[in-house]
Amino acid sequence: MTNNGLKKDVYVWELPVRFFHWVNALCIVVLLATGYFIYNPFLHAPGTEANDYFVMGTARFVHFVTAYVFIANLLFRFYWFFAGNQYAKIKFWKKEWWIGLKDVILFYLFIKKEEPHFTGHNPLAEISYLFFIWVGSFFIILTGLTMQAEIYTTGFLYDITSWFASMMSNSVNTRVLHHMLAWSFVLFIVAHLYTALRHDFLSKSGATSSIITGYKTEETHDADHK
């Protein structure tokens, strides 16, 4: 930690958190690209024999492998929720967290003039990550595994997804839900990039670069809400 006048560098994002972020981002991009191709094959293999090129098969293989990397990465991040520092956690069990959430919402509604200060993510950002990165990921994984299990009527995948397949009534509903969740991730990415860059520009805290270096620049006299 180095002091520079009234500012200091605070180590916020540990290496495992940064590793998760970039692996997760890469997986989402690959999954969206290959998933869209599987849904709408916009590339066509040259020649007359598609099996000589296996474009769709390759896309499906990359999609499946990336999906399992995506799952493993999420499990790793879930573990780091308990093993990591204070910024790796969502402290919704604390009263201060709910007070901070209220203050952030009031600020975004232009009711509160001054933006509440948080060294890590603010509670509203944490809720968005909870719903999109965790709840959204859970259901997009569940629908994806359910569709994969349709190929095999026995085995581990079928055993853990058959209840969900029955609840969805048919595979069409499962696929529609999977696609809707995928598009919600696109919207989340756009919103995430906008808010991160905007916050970094206004606060001058190095929020964007912190996901690479791990450090954010903070005012020494500011109290951390976390």
Q: Give the pLDDT confidence of 135-171 residue by residue, as tens digits.
A: 999 999 999 999 999 887 778 888 899 999 999 988 9
CATH number, domain with residue 50: 1.20.950.20
pLDDT for residue 220 is more than 70: no
Tell me how many domains the chain contains.
2
DSSP assignment of the chain: --EETTEEEEE-S-HHHHHHHHHHHHHHHHHHHHHHHHHS-----SSS-GGGT-HHHHHHHHHHHHHHHHHHHHHHHHHHHHHS-GGGS--TTSHHHHHHHHHHHHHHTTSSSSPPP-SS--HHHHHHHIIIIIIIHHHHHHHHHHHHHTT-SSSHHHHHHHHHHHHH-SHHHHHHHHHHHHHHHHHHHHHHHHHHHHHHHHH-S-HHHHHHHSEEEEETTPPP--
- In a domain, residue 35? The reply is yes
Of 89, 117, 148, which one is at a domain's C-terminal end? 89
98 and 41, same domain (yes or no) = no
Q: Give the pLDDT confidence of 50-99 residue by residue, as tens digits.
A: 555 688 888 999 999 999 999 999 999 999 999 989 988 888 888 888 88
35 and 59, same domain (yes or no) = yes
105 and 211, same domain (yes or no) = yes
What's the confidence (pLDDT) of residue 198?
Answer: 76
- In a domain, residue 59? The reply is yes
98 and 68, same domain (yes or no) = no
| C-alpha to C-alpha distance for 200 and 208, rounded to whole angstroms | 6
Distance of CA 122 to the CA centre of its chain: 16
63 and 106, same domain (yes or no) = no
Q: Which long-range contacts (CB under 8 A, 24 or more apart) does 34-43 make?
A: 34/59, 34/60, 34/62, 34/63, 34/66, 35/63, 35/182, 36/182, 38/63, 39/179
| C-alpha to C-alpha distance for 119 and 203, rounded to whole angstroms | 11
Of 64, 89, 114, which one is at a domain's C-terminal end? 89
Q: Give the pLDDT confidence of 181-205 residue by residue, as tens digits.
A: 999 999 999 988 887 787 677 666 6
Q: What domain range includes position 36?
A: 11-89
